[in-house]
Structure 1
Amino acid sequence: MSLASRWAALSPAIRQAAVDSARDRVGVPDLLDRSLWESRPALAVLAQAAEDRGQPWPRLLLSDYARYWRDGVRTAYENPAGELRRRTSTAVLAAVLTADERYVDEAADGLLLLCEQTTWCWAAHESFATARGEVVADSPYLDLGAAETVEILAWADLVLGPALDDRVPGLRRRLREEADRRVLRPFLEDRRWHWLGLDGHLHNWNPWIHGHVLVAALFLETDVVRRMQVVDLVVDGLDRYLGALPADGGCDEGFAYWWNGPARLASALEVLDRITLGALDPWTVEPMPELARYPQRMALGDGWYVNVGDGSARPSPDQPWDVLHRWGRRTGDREVMAQAAAHRDQSTAAVVGLGRALVALVDDDWLQAAVVPLPLPRSSWLPDVQLLVARQSGGSAEGWALAVKGGHNDENHNHNDVGSFIAALDAVPVLMDLGQPTYTAISFSDRRYEQWVVRSEWHNVPVVDGREQEAGSQWRAADFAVRGSSEASLDLSTAYPGGKLRRTVTLDRRAAAIRVVDTGTSFEEHFVIAGHPVAHEPGRLVVETLGGSVAELHWDSALGTGQLEKRVVDDAMLLRVWGPAVHRLIIAGSNNRFELTMTRGHR
């Protein structure tokens, strides 16, 4: 039964009680419940809040907002706007943890600054002002920025309501007015927002925004009829997203965006489950059990992950792992719980979102969970998204790990990477996927593929008949076959404008090696390398990995050394992951066949 069907099957009385009693049922008490908050372990939050109080509040400037149109820079405005949200959330957390009036005042200052923003929408998403040829956005635009902001107002009102009434009477009225004008009314009155997915195109914006709209309605909307209208529409929207997800639990946006797609969905469903006192039970709706297994399937170890599209190979460790832990508890999946518990020592930080941080702080099962090793499955095959991940030994990050990707070139956050693969040694990528660069004005425009990191020539795929891959759903893998849990064979002819190519990639566990064999018409191999080349000769390249291991690449010495290029990395996001430079090895194929073998090397 679908999510929408389960919601509709609840009696009107149950649904009404859920919506009317949401503030009590969500399970996060307000500041006055000192018996709970005084026992919460949150030293990192309090240390950050104390540090914040000595700093000026972020300044949001029109000139920074306008840079998106002037020179394509998004971060000049988005970074301080994000810091304002983060600091306000931290102050709210510190206030409920300590009941210190100084932090209540600090939270109130941040909340009013959020209300005073001309727009909550990020410049890259705003189209109303753009249509007028302007950069001053004065009409509510319901995007990720608006959703992230209203989420803070909603949870702050839930946990600080009485204290705000005492210290700053009138602020809560202002919170409700801004939430109504900027979020709830646009959500109810305009159903053209692209992230609703009414055209069938679903991505992470859907659960991300719907989840925040849900808590805004439950905690800030005073009209019971409108509150129910919003909740009904949220359930419908989440159901649409669930229905578009692959049955194998894969995520074409990758692990980093999984936290803002399926994990956002889980957070929203958890709110609905709590307010219905478990009557909704969304955790068995397909493909929820499989979605929860995605992080363990993508983990390489030591903070490294298999990344696709705009995903980072080394995403921030500050993730709401408690969300995954509760998800595993509800589905009875011990390996999901173990994947989360391996990160239990991560601090509860405001960067994961105010609501997520508050829920984590009242989850005793999570706070008391024993830190355990990562599950690290021996092999995972996701046929719907066409992704094979195999490692040398299950449960261990030591040795080789291989990920082979099929798919097509019109995926969410797409890179032209059909048939590309990642080879990691001792958890650290050697032949890698660069992942997400810093977003600019061209990142999601018709100029997207001017960026070097998204082009196929900077992925581990050949150039065929002098042509690289192009963007579009027609460019895809065919006949993707998996043999013995560690070999992938796929036809890449349909991923290129011309020529023929078949690729077979194998993790040979017995030989502790990875082997790549390409056959077809004229092609030129491209391999993107992380780490430091230390020896290069005909048929051989030795690389010291970013983790300190040594990998050797071998090919037919008759093909020579190939061309080894060094590219300086000047993008801040890529620099953090890969260091100041990456390399690319280019080798011409011979006799329509090419074979590469990767083994562990020695110093």
Structure 2
Amino acid sequence: MKNKKHILIILLLFLTVNTFAYTEKNLLVKKADMESLKSMLIMNQKWVPYPKYNDRKGWDNLLGDSKADLIKDGEKYLNYEWQVVKATDYLEFERSGNRNIMESPYNNNNKATVALLMAELAEGKGRFIDQLINGVYQSCEMTSWALSAHLTAQHSKRILPDYTEQIIDLGSGNLSAVLAWTYYYFNNEFDKVDPAISKRLYRELKDRTLDPYMNEDRFWWMAFNLKPGGMVNNWNPWCNFNVLQTCMLLENDKDKLAKAVYRTMQSVDKFINYTHSDGGCEEGPSYWGHAAGKMYDYLQLLSNITDGQVSIFNEPIIRNMGEYISRSYVGDGWVVNFADASAKGGGDQQLIYRYGKAVNSTEMMQFAAYLEKQKPSKFKADIDIFRAFQTLLYRHELSSQKPVHITPDYTWYPETEFCYIKDKAGLFLATKGGYNNESHNHNDIGTFSLYINNMPVIIDAGVGTYTRQTFSSERYSIWTMQSNYHNLPIINGVPQAFGSQYKAKNIAFNPKSSTFSVDISKAYPETAQVKQWIRSYKLKNGTLVIDDIFDLSEATQNNQINFLTWGDINIDILGEVTISTNGQKAVLEYDKNNFTPAIETITLDDSRLSNVWGEKIYRVSLNAKNAVKKGKYSFVIKKK
């Protein structure tokens, strides 16, 4: 009976793979139509769970020991010189691809605004009001709040802001939310100085955010014009979350508010529809906080303004999306980092706790407590004011949770096609299928990472600092994006190709034998002349066995099997590659009669990579001695 159960599991897994179809779940709009939503809305900002500005006792209680630090941080900006984002700062993105030249002064101003806002809420004496007004006016005088890297959404397709149109992107959304909270808390105080201040701020928020959102369908992240095979990523919940805050804090006409809230529900449904029911985040753990995490923030706001009547926290997909962050955490700060994710992280423990509480996930709440124990958090407000306020509300609850990180021996995402397997010897295998047009895609179908006692041994490098090239037609000229620099074969001298048509097929996962296999032949273009290439991974008792069974139409070049690694590498003994990384040792065994080893040293001159791996990593290439049409390669990685 037990064997039959496993056979059934495998059959079901076969039937669910390679399902990249967009599924019309529409969980939000099924909860309420426009008319019923009107009756649910809590009007006039009575949904806000934080103290009023003049409630000094309320703020003292909420801030606790953070009050003095917030005031001290705000004092640093009492004489701050507000920075001008120059026209040439924007143009630099077109000229060199550098986005930081524009973003640095912009972010510095936003940081000052947040610090002054929080300091005034903490102290309540009006000492920070004038400088906060300066920050408000500085923002209002900008032509656009959008980032230079995103201004190609303008009709002109150029980078210099066009005063005739407003773009809602991640940057403008973040600033809109900050300024909406500023308006909510200080419009009366501003009026004491001059009513023109609040009037101007309200108009700018309406013109830059509320009106474009209600009147435009063309922003790609809204997904209202989504085409078959189209992508919906973290931009959708992130931007909708910021728009919803702005609406909830400014709009007091019930009909208008209902239309706006319902429109965000329709849009966020597109993101949930796009996400597979298994909850996997194809963008990787680094983006979880911006994808599932922002969706959670959005859902919390929606629940707040409808008094819990529009809530989907009990839906399995929402819980699965949350628990992905726990399952993808290997240990000691290392995570599974497919796509553009970094190999280091773990997530915001306060956010993970709140999300876990909302979906009733003990795993997430205990994982949050585990992260807190490893590295205690200190409250600090940033551009995401809502998260800062929510952290203040819930941060003391975290201490009541048991700080443990317990996950199953395997986690299988049959639709997203990620597979994590652990063994009792301390090995953790992460591998994937998928397709080569995922959000933040790398050409990496069939790749894997291997960890020993939480330490990465066979690695995924991640991604370097974002430039113009990163999200352009030049993306795959960057080495980190190429299958050549993932743990994959180069077949007949040809790497994997970019595009939705390049995908995994015939995926199988057997939990009983801890085996994952995938045919990666369709990830390569026709020039690779590959009919079949089945890669399988089997993890057991401190050993990973990798088999490549292949069938080529022609064998024009010798195949090359690549492994990315770091630490101390030695290939002097034929048939073995020894790897020593931060106290963990492994040996990669190969057939010395079939392969010649070579090492390429990759110098990391990008801080986003070197901060994770150090000055260099290595590509170990096992070069086949013969070009053959059919065959089987076997590799064994053992813990030493």
What TM-score, normalized to structure 1? Answer: 0.91
Whole-angstrom distance in 1 between the partners of 2:546 and 2:610: 28
Q: CA deviation at 1:231?
A: 1.1
What is the CA–CA distance in structure 2 between the aligned matches of 1:58 and 1:543, rounded to whole Å?
Answer: 49
Of the candidates 577, 586, 596, which is equivalent to residue 612 of structure 2?
577
Quick one: which amino acid aligns to residue 3 of structure 1? L
Alignment of 1:155-170 (within 5 A): 155-166=181-192, 169-170=195-196
Q: Does residue 506 of the first structure (1) align with residue 538 of the second (2)?
A: yes
**Alignment match of 2:138 (pick from 113, 118, 122):** 113
Number of residue-to-residue matches in the alignment:
589
Taking the aligned partners of 1:134 and 1:277, their CA distance within structure 2 comes to 42
Cα 1:453–1:51 change in 2 (3 A) is: same
Residue 527 of structure 1 pairs with residue 559 of structure 2: no
Question: What SS does the corresponding residue of 1:359 show, helix, strand or coil?
Answer: helix
The more displaced of 176-185 and 585-594 is 585-594
The ranges of structure 1 where at least 4 consecutive aligned residues each deviate by more than 6 angstroms after the TM superposition are none
Equivalent-residue separation in structure 2 for 1:94 and 1:371 (angstroms): 33
Q: Deviations over 1:374-409 (max 9, x none)?
A: 23432111000111112234xxxx822110110000
Do the aligned residues in 2 keep the contact of 1:211 with 1:267 (CA within 8 Å)? Answer: yes
Report the counterpart of residue 206 of structure 1 in structure 2.
Answer: 236
2:276–2:416 CA contact under 8 A, matched in 1: yes
**How far did 1:97 drift?**
2.3
Pick aligned residue for 2:270 from 210, 218, 240: 240
User: Is 1:386 the counterpart of 2:417 in the alignment?
Assistant: yes
Counterpart of 2:371 in 1: which secondary structure? coil
- 469-478 vs 92-101, greater mean Cα deviation: 92-101
Verify: 1:405 aligned to 2:432, yes or no: yes
Moved more, 188-197 or 92-101: 92-101
Matched, 1:31 2:58: no
Deviation, 1:475, is 1.0
Checking the alignment, whether the CA contact within 8 Å between 1:310 and 1:415 is kept in structure 2 is yes
Q: Which deviates further from its counterpart, 24-33 or 360-369?
A: 360-369
Deviations 1:451-471 (A, max 9, x none): 111011011110012110000
Residue among 279, 287, 304 paired with 1:257? 287
For 1:186, the equivalent position in structure 2 comes to 212
- CA shift, 1:563, in A, is 0.8
SS in 2 for 1:516: strand
Q: Which residue of 1 aligns with 2:391?
A: 360
Distance of 1:352 and 1:343 partners within structure 2: 23
* Structure-1 separation of matches of 2:245 and 2:451: 41
Cα distance, 1:86 vs structure 2: 2.7
Q: CA, structure 1 residues 72+217, in 2 after alignment: closer, same or farther (shift >3 Å)?
A: same
* Aligned match for 1:438, one of 460, 465, 468: 465
Alignment partner for residue 66 of structure 1, among 91, 94, 103?
91
Q: Distance in 2 between matches of 1:578 and 1:467?
A: 27
In the alignment, what sits opposite 1:290? 320
C-alpha distance 375-352 of structure 1, shift in aligned 2 (>3 A) = farther
| Structure 1 gap segments, 5+ residues each | none
**Which residue of structure 2 aligns with residue 455 of structure 1?**
482
2:100 corresponds to which of 60, 72, 75: 75
- 1:338 aligns to 2:366 (yes or no): yes
Alignment deviations for residues 322-380 of structure 1 (CA, whole Å, 9 cap, x no partner): 33322222222111111222234222333461111112112255454446132343211
Indicate the residue corresponding to 2:404 in structure 1.
Answer: 373
Q: Decide which moves more: 117-126 or 203-212.
A: 117-126
Query: 2: distance between equivalents of 1:461 and 1:168?
Result: 64
Deviates more, 1:178-187 or 1:478-487: 478-487
Mapped pair 1:5 → 2:36: no
Q: 2:198 & 2:399 partners in 1: Cα distance?
A: 35
Per the alignment, residue 90 of structure 1 pairs with 115
Amino acid at match of 2:110: R
1:107 CA displacement: 3.4
Check if 1:231 corresponds to 2:261.
yes
In the alignment, the residues of structure 1 paired with residue 434 and residue 160 of structure 2 have an alpha-carbon distance, to the nearest angstrom, of 38
Contact 1:537 1:560 in 2 (8 A): no
More divergent stretch after superposition (472-481 vs 3-12):
3-12
Three-state SS of the structure 2 residue aligned to 1:268 is: helix
Alpha-carbon spacing, 1:109–1:302, altered in 2? closer, same or farther (3 Å)? farther
Aligned-partner Cα distance in 1 for 2:355–2:304 = 13
Query: How much has 1:224 moved relative to structure 2?
Result: 4.0
Give the SS at the match of 1:229. Answer: helix
The residue that corresponds to 2:584 in the other structure is 549
Give the alignment partner of residue 166 of structure 2, picking from 125, 131, 140.
140
**Contact 1:480–1:489 (CA under 8 A) maintained in structure 2:** yes
Mapped to 2, the partners of 1:585 and 1:480 lie a distance apart of 26
One-letter amino acid of the counterpart of residue 31, structure 1: Y
| 8 Å Cα contact 2:313/2:319 also seen in 1 | yes
Write the distance in 1 (CA, Å) between the matches of 2:568 and 2:190: 56
Structure 2 CA distance for partners of 1:506 and 1:81, relative to 1, 3 Å: farther
8 Å contact kept, 1:180–1:221: no
SS at the partner of 1:412? coil
Alignment partners' CA distance in 1, 2:251 and 2:603: 52
1:124 alignment partner AA: A
The percent identity for this pair of structures is 27
| Rounded Cα–Cα distance in structure 1 between residues aligned with 2:157 and 2:357 | 50
Instruction: Name 2:13's counterpart in structure 1.
Output: none
Point out the more displaced range, 201-210 or 51-60: 51-60
The 2-side partners of 1:514 and 1:349 are apart by 43
- 1:533 and 1:56 map into 2 onto residues whose CA distance is 51
